[in-house]
Copies of this chain bind each other. A is one copy, B any other.
Amino acid sequence: MRTDLVAALDIGGTKIAGGLVDGRGLILERAQRATPARHDGETVMRAVEEVLADLAASSVWGNVRSVGIGSAGPVDAVAGTVSPVNVPGWRDFPLVERVRAATGGLPVELIGDGVAITAAEHWQGAARGHDNALCMVVSTGVGGGLVLDGRLHPGPTGNAGHIGHISVDLDGDPCPCGSRGCVERIASGPNIARRALDEGWVPGPDGDTSAAAVAAAARSGDPVATASFERAARALAAGIAATATLVEIDIAVIGGGVGNAGDVLFTPLRKALTDYATLSFVRRLTVVPAQMGTDAGLVGAAAATLLRGAARL
């Protein structure tokens, strides 16, 4: 029986999650810290080291053969560094080297967080059995990853599938990334909420102005809330259609907080896809909700590492 384990890290702007993951994708141990995102780089690294120390205290740590990291991006898998937009203390931060040092020299694999969730959805989730897939997280930001020809496609630096920052509106609003009209600038949760408020949506008595509150209002028939989700759906549809037209995916999987909005998102999204995915070879494209939930990042970081390890044998 195989007992080799991967120590997986899922590093985002809000939390740093860790887990010991076995070859079937089961998470045997967990650890977590809040990301001290506004602090200096060493403070953030200390939180990572604490997560690893918690995991190392496990009785099965001795079976860990490698470390898999899925990190908020951009990452640089060649240099082993990360520069997460939401963690300003880390710019070209040598995360791979530091994690290797913190784990007594274990091999470390680094991919972007969008690539990690894609690995998870392809391994055990909604993209299972699909040789060409786009998996996305639509949440505070919009990220993604690709499966091409049956294999994860992280790209040379581990960032491929970064659909949140392709422009679908070349004259559109400036995006914090420096471009204009990016998918994320139109379809992320904060932008769905901002647009609804700008257009006159009035939040409920609880004052909740989150995208989830906009989704609830849309479900109740509020036209402004509905229109904001429809606009997000159009941007997502244009981006997904562009991806399908460029690399011939046949399924797009959407997770994250906005992805969990259900029909409020998926109904207009499927309709808009018929407007933008028009060529014969992309018309069969389907869009489905993600299945892996909040563990996708951890399981995916492990999956990418296991698969890479297998490829090396």
Residues of A within 8 A of B (CB): 73-74, 76, 83, 131-132, 146, 148-149, 153, 155-157, 159-163, 165-171, 177-181, 234-235, 238, 241-243, 245-248, 250, 275-281
Candidates B166, B167, B248; contact of A159 at CB < 8 Å: B248
Q: Which residue of B lies closest to A163 (CB)?
A: B246
A74 touches B279 (CB 8 A): yes
Q: Do B167 and A276 have beta carbons less than 8 Å apart?
A: yes
Whether A76 pairs with B170 at a CB distance below 8 angstroms is no
Does B159 contact A132, Cβ atoms closer than 8 Å?
no
Residue of B nearest to A248 (CB): B155
Copies held by the complex: 2
Q: Main SS of chain A's interface residues?
A: loop
A-B contact pairs, 23 of them (CB 8 A): A73-B279, A76-B280, A76-B281, A132-B155, A146-B247, A148-B153, A157-B281, A159-B248, A160-B247, A160-B248, A165-B279, A167-B276, A169-B171, A170-B181, A170-B234, A177-B278, A177-B279, A179-B241, A179-B278, A242-B242, A243-B246, A246-B246, A247-B247
Q: How far is the CA of A243 from the CA of B163 in the complex (A)?
A: 10
B279 engages A238 (CB within 8 Å)? no
Contact A246–B281 (Cβ < 8 Å): no
CB distance from A111 to the nearest CB of B (A): 12
Contacts of A153 in B (CB 8 A): 148-149, 247
The answer for the CA separation of A281 and B114 in the assembled complex, in Å, is 15
In Å, the complex CA distance between A235 and B238 comes to 15
**How far is B185's CA from A29's CA once the two chains are assembled, in angstroms?**
53
Question: Within 8 Å CB of A155, what residues of B?
Answer: 132, 247-248, 281
